[in-house]
Amino acid sequence: MSLTDPVADFLTRVRNSIRARHQKLDVPASKLKTEIARILKEEGYIANYKPVEENGRTILRVYLKYGANNEAAIRDLSRVSRPGCRVYVGRDEIKRVQGGLGISILTTPRGVMTGRQARREGLGGEILCEVW
């Protein structure tokens, strides 16, 4: 199965797993997906993640996070920049997600970071996705 947009696939798997109330999910690992998972963990949207070797391939195991009333930490996520339509922003154009309640994840010249970090460091980049 060849994928043209592995990041969209990753986000869709997370969305579906949350709606199905799964505790964890496995996705094929990549540096970019690992970085996205790192940010989701730092921002408190997932419980944990770790790369796991299985049958000679590396997969990324993501542990989802739920609150007291079995409410998911991630309400929704959306892909912004797609392979067919890339979305780049300058440092002054980074919008707040859901009035500051969510985060945007960008790839910048200094690596993958949240919109807030990019604004603080005066960097623009490609908006990968928004999470709230």
- Map out the domains of the chain as residue ranges: 6-131
Residue 1 predicted with pLDDT over 60: no
Q: Residue 1, Cβ neighbours under 10 Å: how many?
A: 4
The predicted pLDDT at position 89 comes to 97
Which tokens hold the place of 42? 């730092």
* Residues 72/18, Cβ–Cβ less than 8 Å: yes
Which architecture, in CATH terms, is 6-131? 2-Layer Sandwich (3.30)
The predicted pLDDT at position 70 comes to 87
Residue 2 predicted with pLDDT over 80: no
Residue 20 predicted with pLDDT over 60: yes
- pTM of the predicted model as reported, rounded to 2 decimal places: 0.92
Mean pLDDT computed over 115-131: 97
Instruction: Quickly state the pLDDT bin for 107 (edges 50, 70, 90).
Output: very high
The predicted pLDDT at position 100 comes to 84
14 closest CA partner among 73, 82, 90: 73
Give the whole-angstrom CA distance, residue 123 versus residue 121: 6
